Copies of this chain bind each other. A is one copy, B any other.
Amino acid sequence: MNVEIVNTGSELMLGRVLNTHQQWLCRRLADLGHVVTRQVAIADTGSEIQQAVREALGRADLIITTGGLGPTSDDLTRELIAELLGKKLIANKEVLAHIENFFAKRGRPRPQKTDVETLVPEGAEVFLNQTGTAPGLAMEIGNSQWLVMLPGPPRELRPMFDTFVVPLLKREFADEIFVCRTLLTTGIGESRVQEFVEADLQPLVARGLEVGYCARPGAVDVRLVASGAAAAKLAAEAEAVVQRILGENIFGRDDEEIEQVVVKLLRQKQKTLAVAESCTGGLLANRITDVPGASEIFLGGVVSYANVAKEKFLGVRAETLAAHGAVSEAVAREMAVGARGKFGSDLAIAMTGIAGPAGGTPEKPVGTVFIALASAAGVEVKKFLNVWDRATFKQVTATQALEWLRRTLSA
């Protein structure tokens, strides 16, 4: 089965926007057993869109377009594809009602420009947009060839793909067996991860297993891919090998985030958490509160950027700050103990460090971090050196704090 993706949008060709659709759609389709053979991005002008879709129709069983279904003048995909296929566009009442409801819920009048979003090529299946206005569209071109049009905004495209496109694929195309397991590790670098596991995986690679490694800030993914009748068995054997060797460092699998694992563990153990952040500036609290249900176990946090905030909100002593400096083991310790006491939480974790680019000294270079964890058992502090750009520094530090919480809660 041949699958092609056509991304439309002049903002892509001008390099103003990162094309996240490619990765997301390729990933979802691969997980369903359909590996994308080609992805094309073109500007949203008439001739480009029609030429790209015409070429894809000559090769692919499934074509997915993204973008160009909205209400503005550069949204041309619906019209151009209908024209290419010689299909009439017909105003759809169900879509109109859906869009009217969207604006009514928000207490705003429906803009007349959204009229165009109600137009549907004759014979097309309609995917009502759960998170926006423009519907997705699917057309069987003949001989089991399908063309699917999805809207550009990721928050509209993603739920629409899961709700409508996945069932359509299952209905219209034979299942292909393809297993991809990703084991998520933290605490070891990419080449060391490979050194640890590659010899033991070699016999499975000889039997058709594909292994990939992907380094992310503070984490390394180990990807195990197999296809065909023996895929599940091969992938399970490979997973067992990696589990045996890297067990402690594996925090999750596939699309899990470490903050989801930590929130789940806190809920299971009925423990509450508070955080005290200096150098991460709210990122840790933000990641924890991205998890639905976090409010059950997360009491809150203090972003103590200025020293006065460390003293006033967390009870860090002025003498400690004066004697050791804000980035120190002693201050991290008092921040964690202070947060635990003030919030009345079971656990409190605190971070203080130098994110950079400025603020480093020979003794405490940019990247120096102290993380402290306070619990009923007392308080512990660990020192890290996270030499990265500012944004990566914040991510890596927050991940280290989450990993420490995960290990403590799993113990």
Q: Shortest distance in angstroms between A203's beta carbon and chain B's nearest beta carbon?
A: 15
Instruction: Give A199-232 as 1s and 0s: 1 = Cβ < 8 Å from B's Cβ atoms.
Output: 0000000000011111101000101010000000
Residues of B within 8 A of A93 (CB): none
How does the 8 Å CB contact mask read for A1-19 relative to B, with 1 for contact and 0 for none?
0000000001111111111
When C-beta atoms are compared, the residue in chain B nearest to A43 turns out to be B37
Is A100 interfacial (CB-CB < 8 Å)? no
Shortest Cβ distance from residue A176 to the other chain B in the assembled complex, whole angstroms: 14
Cβ A72 vs Cβ B282 within 8 A: no
How far apart are A61's CB and chain B's nearest CB, in angstroms? 15
Does A140 count as interface, using CB distance less than 8 angstroms?
no
Give the shortest distance, in Å, between A32 (CB) and chain B (any CB).
11
Given contacts A18-B20, A23-B19, A73-B198, contact A285 B290 (CB under 8 A): no
Q: Which of A227-286 contact B (CB under 8 A)?
A: 274-275, 277, 280-286
In the complex, A12 Cα to B26 Cα: how many Å?
Answer: 8
Find out whether the CB atom of A385 lies under 8 angstroms from the CB atom of B299.
no
Task: Kindly report which residue of chain B lies nearest to residue A178, judged by CB atoms.
Answer: B14
Residue numbers in B under 8 Å from A327 (CB-CB):
none
| Distance A12 CA – B40 CA, assembled complex (angstroms) | 12
Number of this chain's copies in the assembly equals: 2
State whether the Cβ of A167 lies closer than 8 Å to any Cβ in chain B. Answer: no
A292 — which chain B residues lie within 8 A by C-beta?
Answer: 356-358, 390
Known: A18-B18, A131-B388. A211 touches B12 (CB 8 A): no
Cβ contact within 8 Å between A15 and B29 = yes
Binding site for B on A (CB under 8 A): 10-20, 22-30, 35-43, 48, 52, 70-74, 105-108, 111, 113-114, 131, 153, 155, 180, 182, 189-192, 194-195, 198, 210-215, 217, 221, 223, 225, 274-275, 277, 280-286, 288-290, 292-295, 298-306, 308-309, 312-313, 342-344, 355-359, 385, 387-392, 394
B28 near A37: Cβ-Cβ < 8 Å: no
Q: Name A40's contact: one of B29, B38, B212 (CB within 8 Å).
A: B38
Nearest Cβ in chain B — how far from A202, in angstroms?
A: 10
Q: Which residue of B lies closest to A133 (CB)?
A: B191
- Please tell me if the beta carbons of A15 and B27 are within 8 angstroms of each other in the complex: yes
Query: When A290-B390, A292-B390, A306-B299 are in contact, do A14 and B180 touch as well, CB less than 8 Å?
Result: yes
CA distance A30 to B16 in the complex (A): 10
- By a CB distance below 8 angstroms, the chain B residues around A155 are 217, 388-389, 392
* B residues in contact with A394, CB < 8 Å: 286, 289-290
When A131-B389, A290-B281, A301-B302 are in contact, do A308 and B343 touch as well, CB less than 8 Å?
yes
Query: Does B15 contact A22, Cβ atoms closer than 8 Å?
Result: yes
Of B41, B153, B212, B309, which is within 8 A of A300 by CB? B309
Residues B11 and A15 in contact, CB atoms below 8 Å apart:
no
Partner among B15, B300, B355 whose Cβ is within 8 Å of the Cβ of A24: B15
Q: Identify 16 residue pairs between A and B in the complex whose beta-carbon atoms are under 8 Å apart, listed by A's number.
A: A13-B30, A13-B35, A13-B36, A16-B214, A17-B23, A19-B19, A40-B41, A71-B194, A73-B198, A155-B392, A280-B289, A282-B288, A286-B286, A290-B390, A300-B309, A309-B343
A28 touches B15 (CB 8 A): yes
* Whole-angstrom distance between the Cβ of A117 and the nearest chain B Cβ: 9
Most B CB atoms within 10 A — which of A16, A280, A359? A16
